Amino acid sequence: MAKAVESSGELGTTSPRPLFAGLSDISISQDIPVEGEITIPMRSHIREFDSSTLNESVQNTIMRDLKAVGKKFMHVLYPRKSNTLLRDWDLWGPLILCVTLALMLQRSSVDSEQDGGPQFAEVFVIIWFGAVTITVNSKLLGGNISFFQSLCVLGYCILPLTVAMLVCRLVLLAEQGPINFMVRLFVVIVMFAWSIVASTAFLADSQPPNRKALAIYPVFLFYFVISWMILTFTPQ
């Protein structure tokens, strides 16, 4: 699927500020003036269709989208106070991560008692409904972030936990025992902390300053549940 967003993102940094850009300074917290197209009116998008991205080859599109996703992964792995995830949000990354995690958490054995089927759906539903709940909660608390931006950030911040899942899977190839468990516990705890720090770096600025803790707490619970699922996974 072609995405004009990338070209607009790149254009946005070099072209003169669009018409209502001044409004974005009012709406976001004062420390970090957000640049870019959070409040761009529709008009400025139409001009991008002259350089249509629908005509390019599929490979170009896919490579561009993958690069965008990869860039955001880097932002999550090294969380700084940046607005890339908020500005050019997309849901491809969260989808890839969610599907990967759900596939890895699936039981490998097909037993009458242990049905591998529901695991995928459970993980999927928990991740997406958890993210929606957190987003609704942060909006109700007076947050200044759009629905999909929040979903994007929460989804991307699952990346450390997906890495933890990979590591756990590898560790589980070795013989089981308390050492095995301690290693996995340590990895999961570190990645859990990383996820929370990453999502806090992105989400905290959109909340009113005295309510940051109220908005971060459900994020903590959400990643805790996912970490629990990862930690207690054993293939049989």
User: Smallest distance from the beta carbon of 227 to another protein, in angstroms?
Assistant: 10
| 146 contact partners, CB below 8 Å, separation of at least 6 | 38
Q: Considering the complex, state which of residue 137 and residue 200 has its C-beta at the smaller distance from another protein.
A: 137
Question: What tokens does 167 get?
Answer: 């590591």
Number of residues forming the site for another protein (CB under 8 A): 63
Convert residues 135-174 into a mask of x (bound to another protein by CB under 8 A) and - (unbound): -xx-xxxx-x-xxxx-------------------------
Q: Measuring CA to CA, how many Å separate 151 from each of 51, 71, 118, 202, 222?
A: 29, 17, 23, 12, 13
CA-nearest of 46, 89, 61 to 2 is 61
193 binds another protein (CB under 8 A): no
Q: Does 42 bind another protein (CB under 8 A)?
A: yes
Using the minimum distance from each CB to another protein, give the nearer residue, 26 or 170. Answer: 26
DSSP alpha helix (H) spans, the chain: 4-14, 21-27, 43-46, 58-77, 84-87, 92-104, 117-140, 147-156, 159-171, 178-203, 212-231
Q: What residues make contact with another protein under the rule CB under 8 A?
A: 1-5, 8-9, 12, 23-24, 26-28, 36-42, 45, 49, 52, 54, 87-90, 107, 113-114, 118-119, 122, 126, 136-137, 139-142, 144, 146-149, 208, 210-211, 213-214, 217-218, 221, 224-225, 228-229, 231-234, 236
